[in-house]
Amino acid sequence: MARKRATSVQQLVDAAARVFERKGFVEATISDIATEAGVSKPTVYQYVTSKRWLLETIVEQIIYPLRNSIEEIVASDLPAREKLMRYLQVQVNSAIRYRTYYAVLHADQHQLSPKALRNYNSWAREVNHTATGLFKLCAEEGVVRPDLDVMTVVNLINGMMLSISRWYDSKGRLSPDELLEHATQLLSGYILPPAAD
């Protein structure tokens, strides 16, 4: 019986992410990815150039939408508190949506080509720089405590948000909104209550 042909590169990228998560990049083969996608190995090569290209595409599909969303939030005319809440929401949603992709990124980023690794590191610095600016604004406007080191806070919060991808189960007891509420409550010692009018 003939296998169903893949209808998009995205289906192969998704299949590769699942295989890389289970087997790791080094142990995974194009044949494994073809089987996961329900296509033949030659079909995979009609869409993609290599296993490494798939890994780099997985990383790109996490980093660029997240960076763009964060930059859009920071550049908006929203009040600082709303920017912060949207920043946290974007981080939660990204960790949930790309859970498998994040697992692959954490396990296999050392397998990226030198250029892709430079791009990833540059992205991480840009996102941290943008987030640092947001958190400084929040401190200036009385949204968060000003007495804590901003870079440390940014790294701690980003680490917490990224860890969601390791343990969150969409079929579990918390919705993404409830998860954000828990994160906000956890940060309540850092995020100051709104000023009374």
DSSP sequence for 173-194: S--HHHHHHHHHHHGGGTBPPP
How confident is the model at residue 86, as a pLDDT? 96
Residues of the chain whose pLDDT is less than 70? 1-7, 197
Q: How far apart are CA 179 and CA 181, in angstroms?
A: 5
In order of 14, 34, 38, 52, 59, the CA distances from 44 in angstroms are 12, 6, 10, 13, 19
How confident is the model at residue 158, as a pLDDT? 87
Q: How far apart are CA 96 and CA 98, in angstroms?
A: 6
How confident is the model at residue 1, as a pLDDT? 45
**Residue count of the chain:** 197
Q: How far apart are CA 156 and CA 70, in angstroms?
A: 17
> Do 10 and 24 touch, CB atoms closer than 8 A?
no
How confident is the model at residue 153, as a pLDDT? 92
How confident is the model at residue 35, as a pLDDT? 94
How confident is the model at residue 2, as a pLDDT? 47
How confident is the model at residue 161, as a pLDDT? 87
How confident is the model at residue 31, as a pLDDT? 96
Give pTM, 2 decimals: 0.84
How confident is the model at residue 6, as a pLDDT? 52
Q: How far apart are CA 58 and CA 63, in angstroms?
A: 9
